[in-house]
Amino acid sequence: MAKENYKNNDVELVIIGAGPAGLTAAQYGARAGLHVVVFEQLAPGGQVLLINELENYPGIAPHKNGYDFSQELRKQAQDFGAIFVMERVTLVRKEDYGFYLELGSGAHLSATALIYATGAKHRKLEIPGEERFFGRGVSYCATCDGPFFKEKKIFVAGGGDAACDEAQYLSNLTPKVVLVHRRDKFRAQKSLADRVLSNPNIEVRFNTVLKEIKGAQKVTSVVLETTGQAPKEEEADAVFVSVGSVPQTSLIPDAKKDEAGYIITDQNMAASVPGIFTAGDVRASSFRQVVVAAGEGAVAAHSASVYIDMLKGQAY
């Protein structure tokens, strides 16, 4: 399908992903008068759907669960005119007129600008009990779930910056944090690693892997194996898995990414490909939180609006 220029495009702004970043971008984009279409794969919310109590989002009290929060964000965006389509985007191609997109159904469309808010998935340990006890002792976010385990015995798995950050955060809630890392030294930055190693509330066990998470209604123990020793079972109240994450970037192969695969943007959320903006967990940043994703979504929509206005200005 050949378009002469962006003016014939089907949509001004396409947003891929309907987590807090995508939903906030949809609201801001539609409110700025853009024709906005959001593609979502399942229910809106993304990883936020996993949150039982969103207790650290500013100004929301009493706390909501992730599902209710996402539904309200979506409704707000819809009320401003954003259109939601439950379809998987399977292909994105940059063209002179903007972007050509293909959908899972085989349909296709053109857009002037894109916001990628596709998020990232937590890497899993893939051990027995991890999935079964998710939300009942197993967590991937200390800031979200740590406060439920005050004074409890908590295991953290991982050896990177995130695992050290998570252990450090949890050590303010309980003196019984055990950080388990599979190698004999941390991958984390030295400053973070040193802080963890000198923290009296954190016991670090190198060359140790979690083999299994056990319990009945909730986590009660873990099975650990330290190199050269037989596996042993130990009491546990919670396991925080922090072994990296996998950004969902398969649709944007050309945009610049950092070493871990996250999309690099400027402060306006513009990626290295003109017309592509990025917000939320798929973007390279050091603090991945719902409120941060929402803020980035607002900036991305504003920047996309400025970009579209600039194209219009050039045309007249």
Tell me: does residue 248 bind ligand NAP (CB under 6 A).
Answer: no
How many whole angstroms separate alpha carbon 311 and alpha carbon 313? 5
Q: State the catalytic residue, choosing from 79, 141, 164, 309.
A: 141
Burial label for 190, CB within 10 Å (0-12, 13-18, 19+), is exposed
One of 42, 43, 260, 306 touching ligand NAP (CB under 6 A): 260
Is residue 54 helix, strand or coil?
strand
Q: Which is nearer to ligand NAP, 73 or 141 (CB)?
A: 141
CB 16 within 8 A of CB 116: yes
Q: Which of residues 135-174 bind ligand NAP (CB under 6 A)?
A: 157-163, 165
Which residue's beta carbon is nearest to the bound ligand NAP? 160
Report strand pairing: 108-116 vs 11-16.
parallel
Task: Enumerate the H helices of the chain as residue ranges.
Answer: 20-31, 66-79, 142-145, 161-170, 190-197, 290-315
Active site residue 309: no
Cβ proximity to ligand NAP, 20 vs 159, nearer residue: 159
Find the binder of ligand NAP among 27, 171, 245, 265 (CB under 6 A): 245
Q: How far apart are CA 19 and CA 49, in angstroms?
A: 9
Q: How far is the CB of 203 from ligand NAP (least distance, A)?
A: 17
CB of 260 to ligand NAP, least distance (A): 4
| Closer residue to ligand NAP in complex, CB, 86/260 | 260
The structure tokens listed for 183 are 């190698």
Query: Which run of H or of E encompasses 264?
Result: none
Count of Cβ atoms closer than 10 Å to residue 58 Cβ: 7
- Which residue lies nearer to ligand NAP by CB, 22 or 160? 160
Contacts of ligand NAP in 24-83 (CB under 6 A): none
Which of 20, 11, 224 lies closest to 125 in space, CA to CA? 224
Catalytic residue among 10, 79, 96, 145: 145
Chain positions contacting ligand NAP, by CB under 6 A:
123, 125, 157-163, 165, 182-183, 187, 243-245, 260, 286
Provide the annotated active-site residues: 141, 144-145
